[in-house]
Amino acid sequence: MEFEIRLSGSIEVRVGGRAGPLGPTKSRAALAALAWDAGRSVSVDSLVHRIWDDHPPATARETLHTHISRVRRALRTADPDAPTITSRTNSYVLHVDPDRVDLRAYTSCVEQARALKGSDDDAALQLLERADTHRYGEPLAGISGSWPDHLRATVGETALIAAMTRAELLMNAGRFTEAVPVLAPLAPEHPVDEALVGLLAVALHGGGRTAEATKLLQRTRQRVIRDIGLDGGRRLHRIQEGILAGTPAGALYGQGPRRRPAARVGRPVPDNLPRDVPWIGRRAELRRLTSALSEGGGEGGGESGAVVTVEGMGGVGKTALAVHCGYQVADRYPDGRCFVRLGGHAADRTAGAPDRALTTLLRVLGPEGKELPQDTEELIAMWRSLARDRRMLVILDDAVCSEQVRQLLPGASPTAVVVTSRRRLTGLPGARSVSLDVLPSDDAIALFQRRLGTGGRSRAAEIADIVRVCGHLPLAVEIAASRLLARSSWTAADLLRQLTAGAGGLDELRDGERTLEHVFALSYRTLTAEQQLVFRRTSLHTGMEFGPHAVAALTGLPLAVTERALEQLLTQHLVSEPAPHRFTLHDLLRTYARSLSDAEETESRAAMARLATFYMGAADRADRLVHPYRSRTSLDADDFISLPEIDDVPAAEKWLITESGNLADTLGWISAHGTERQLALSVHVLTELLDTRGRLTATETLLRRAVAHWAVAGDRKAQARALLDLGVAHSHRSRYDEAISAAREALELARTLGDPELECECVNQLCIPLWQTGQYGLVQALQEQTLDSRMQMENGLQAARSHNILGSTYLSLAKNDAALACFNSALSEFTAIGHERGIFVSLNNLAEVSTRTGDLESAEIAYRKAISLATQRSDRREQATLQMNLANALIGLGQTEEALTLSQGSLEVFRAVADRRGEALALNRIGKAHRAAGRSEQAVPLHIAALTLARRINAAGEVVDTAYDAAVAELDTGRVTQAMAHLEESLAVSRQIGAPAEASRAAGALATARTAPRQQQRD
């Protein structure tokens, strides 16, 4: 029958739902004093204090013994198999599972819910529901004294945490109305708790009870100021201001009234606004724009942020105003600022297609590496879901029409949107408009003077005439000043004469945008034929920034000729150079140049094909240096494309990082416009880069297309390599069964082809998910056979990789000496060929051996050396893994705080790149750090959360360790029943995967746990 000790309400021992007699009040207090520390030793002095405070009777120890005896009899009367109380030296222990004590079970459920919040909100809510079933009334009802009061306060604080956690979970799901009754009963008990009151006010506001929310905030803030002083209540004041301004509840909730567990990673705060410039003029327009942002409204009504359009002719300064405003109002948008170029007037964009802009928004907002859908409607839904409770400012720059913008609005969200466009956007419901005209004369003169930066060769009257000829249009003024700067021998008078002499001068700008094109035409006509070709072709580049090699590919010109042409374009401000040898084209100039290219449709298509060939050829060259171990499918040769000189690994890594955005854009272009063969070759080239940047899972559809193409084409070698690429994507999403299936299919193809090198690589890729799922015996057999083959091939790199994988398998099988020999061989082989990544991976593996054998000092040294080498790489996941491994050694060395910091940092990275296995490892490591610091109660829910993740992804090795670590922490806290269940799981899985050391460890702990509760010492 079910046994339970109740400390909430009347103190009771219940068996099968029926309460048994306990005797007088002091006997019940004695039971409570022992039950609160169930499974732990409680000193006699502590028991005396808990029962009699600081005024015990002279015979307190003898009387305590009497009460303990009564409790023992009551327990035996209730249930012959009831828990026992044993006496030790000057202490007593009640041998009962803490979760059989209602208040201990309650606090355990609350802590587990907090640990799961953010990873599994539904499970967290279920745990809080379960927690409520363990409370039956006021703790220790009828018992007075300082310790009972302290326990009631402790449980009250836990109840407050539980309520706030439940409210946060409900509000995360947009269920503000349901959060109100959770919080409201606690507000009178905690009248000056700003976090609680702030959360309740936001919930009231979100549930449509705004008047109640403002009254609550005003009343509480007055009391806080009275009790604390004028500095008090700032958080409440910010929330009140937001409510009065009509800010939706989701945005206010994001401002920080929540209490979060330390292990939870905050969502990213994007801020990619372009650089602000020293501001001149536009004061009235800036006030109108900021006022319109404050008024709110927009598509979603009262729950939506403002939508404001900034409209005007090309070159009038719309983008500059929007960006400057973004900096001015930054404090109003705590969830970030996003700038997205819609390219409505850049001809390489497709008007109205939102996919590119949505992808940009999601990449800026979401964790790096998060998989993005392919369908437009799904992209829109994901964007609106992410923006739902964020108070951000989004600038959509250069929109072409209302329909294009409407699909990008965040819907019912506190996010504000500023749209710039050359057109009047009349189809946006609720949008406010700020219209820009040309600059006043004084501001245009000031703009010219600030750009020029000198006064010695210019007179005020001449400058006034120049800006008059420019029509006070900011872009024209900027072009005029830049031209003067480019001619060191000119004065303002010289420039003015040039602009006003003859036909076709800048005076034509007075007629608006049409004449601005004439300015571009004037510059264009001064170029040589080669320079004109370069100018036209740059407009075809898919990215915003490019290098001379890409332009050479677009034009088909020699590199040296292209570089000279770019220099001339730079001098005439037709291109800009934001970084050395990196160029960009202004959108207005891009529009003009693209209009010239449109007349060359056939040549433009050929140019884009050459650009794609260039990027994939250069990427292939760089990737072969950075990842020399890959089995490669060769690209189709093109001897007419000039590739950059990439001669070593650092140069290759730098090029890949610099061009990663352009490479991704090129892959997108090939996916839409290239052949299936081009796509299959390109995604193969970029697999490792996409993996390093955390984007491989988002490309899974393309990887599947590659596999299908090679199958149809009958190229079985390429098909096998494509399957390996697909398997990597599956592994990094913790989909191990699919990864194993892909690698096995590739291995079968390689064996059929009789290609020993490809076969070895297939074995390596197969062994990774096999090892992650604990199939160590199979991995050992495969790797031993593969290693023999590679030694015969005399391939040092591949032999080193096999030594590392085989060593990791030996280590899992507790063959430490064999593992050490393999890792030392790998380190020697990697060092001989100068393979830096292999070196730090081998150092990490050697440190793992040292950790297993108890040489923690050597492990720390090796880990730190590996980390110092790995910091030069761009793979955040590898660095996080090394730091987490170092944390394990530091825990054993007693350096728990540094271990905790490292593990929490690793957890952030793993969650950011959606690495569920890494997340489980990091959660478990954080739990171990807490336990090592004497905080086992905090450790238990973290271990349970880690175990839940490990089971979900079928990571058998992690199930073994997390179940064991959870059991150890549970034994510390007296949860013997749960500990035994987890030890049995660890033992069973260890035996299943053939991990003898782990099986022995679990079996020993299980034997101890089974016998410990039966050891009794009678008085």
pLDDT tens profile 909-919: 888 777 888 89
Residue tagged 């593992």 (tokens): 819
Segment 83-98 mean pLDDT = 86
Residue 278 phi, psi (nearest 5)? -55, 130
> For residue 457, what pLDDT band results from cuts at 50, 70 and 90?
low
- Alpha carbons within 13 angstroms on the beta-carbon side of residue 63 total 17
What is the percent of the chain where pLDDT is above 90?
A: 27
Specify the pLDDT at position 253: 61
Specify the pLDDT at position 963: 95
Lowest-pLDDT range, 33-47, 500-514, 554-568? 500-514
Nearest partner of 483 among 584, 545, 351, 573, judged by Cα: 573
How far is CA 77 from its chain centroid?
A: 57
**Count of CB atoms within 10 A of residue 137's CB?**
11
How far is CA 946 from its chain centroid?
A: 18
pTM comes to 0.57
> For residue 1, what pLDDT band results from cuts at 50, 70 and 90?
low
Specify the pLDDT at position 503: 42
Angle of helix 146-172 relative to helix 25-35, nearest 10 degrees, comes to 50
> For residue 549, what pLDDT band results from cuts at 50, 70 and 90?
very high
Specify the pLDDT at position 353: 60
Q: Which residues pair with 310 in a beta bridge?
A: 420, 434
- Residues 399 and 342: their CA atoms lie apart, in Å, by 6
Whether the CA torsion 967, 972, 978, 980 is positive or negative: it is positive
Residue tagged 């209009």 (tokens): 595
Tell the burial category of 824 from Cβ atoms under 10 Å away from its Cβ (0-12, 13-18, 19+).
middle
The number of residues in the chain equals 1019
> Helix, strand, or coil here: 74?
helix
Specify the pLDDT at position 865: 93
Specify the pLDDT at position 873: 65
> Helix, strand, or coil here: 233?
coil
- Residues 959 and 773: their CA atoms lie apart, in Å, by 10
- Alpha carbons within 13 angstroms on the beta-carbon side of residue 479 total 28
Average pLDDT, the chain: 83
Whether the CA torsion 246, 249, 250, 251 is positive or negative: it is positive
- Residues 287 and 293: their CA atoms lie apart, in Å, by 10
DSSP secondary structure string for all residues of 903-970: HHHHHHHHHHTT-HHHHHHHHHHHHHHHHHTT-HHHHHHHHHHHHHHHHHTT-HHHHHHHHHHHHHHH
The amino acid sitting at 119 is S
Instruction: Write down the H helix ranges in 329-375.
Output: 355-365
Strands 91-94 and 41-43: antiparallel
> For residue 1019, what pLDDT band results from cuts at 50, 70 and 90?
very low
> For residue 371, what pLDDT band results from cuts at 50, 70 and 90?
low
Compute, in degrees rounded to 10, the torsion defined by CA atoms 793, 797, 802, 804: 150
Tell me the range of 241-245, 582-586, 719-723 where mean pLDDT is highest: 719-723
Contact between 64 and 30 (Cβ < 8 Å): yes
Specify the pLDDT at position 233: 62
Contact between 236 and 201 (Cβ < 8 Å): yes
- Residues 285 and 287: their CA atoms lie apart, in Å, by 5
- Residues 44 and 702: their CA atoms lie apart, in Å, by 69
Segment 172-192 mean pLDDT = 86
Tell the burial category of 843 from Cβ atoms under 10 Å away from its Cβ (0-12, 13-18, 19+).
buried
Specify the pLDDT at position 272: 83
Segment 17-46 mean pLDDT = 85
The amino acid sitting at 407 is Q
User: How far, CA to CA in Å, does 843 sit from each of 188, 695, 825, 830, 860?
Assistant: 58, 27, 11, 11, 11
* 304, pLDDT greater than 70: no
Contact between 359 and 215 (Cβ < 8 Å): no
Residue tagged 């401000």 (tokens): 573
Residue 965 phi, psi (nearest 5)? -65, -35
Specify the pLDDT at position 585: 80
The answer for residues whose C-beta is within 8 angstroms of residue 971's C-beta and 6 or more apart is: 979, 1005, 1009
Q: Which residues pair with 584 in a beta bridge?
A: 545, 576
Contact between 29 and 143 (Cβ < 8 Å): yes
- Residues 655 and 550: their CA atoms lie apart, in Å, by 13
Contact between 1005 and 990 (Cβ < 8 Å): no
Lowest-pLDDT range, 114-123, 185-194, 862-871? 114-123
Q: Which residues pair with 338 in a beta bridge?
A: 394
Residue tagged 């030594």 (tokens): 803
The amino acid sitting at 709 is H
pLDDT tens profile 757-782: 898 889 989 998 998 888 888 989 88
Q: What DSSP character marks residue 340? A: E
- Residues 474 and 703: their CA atoms lie apart, in Å, by 47
Tell me the range of 372-381, 784-793, 806-815 where mean pLDDT is highest: 806-815
- Residues 469 and 482: their CA atoms lie apart, in Å, by 15
Contact between 1000 and 988 (Cβ < 8 Å): no
pLDDT tens profile 473-519: 788 788 777 777 777 777 888 778 777 765 444 443 333 443 456 54
**Count of CB atoms within 10 A of residue 784's CB?**
12
Contact between 780 and 810 (Cβ < 8 Å): yes
Residue tagged 């799961």 (tokens): 116
Specify the pLDDT at position 739: 92
> For residue 548, what pLDDT band results from cuts at 50, 70 and 90?
very high
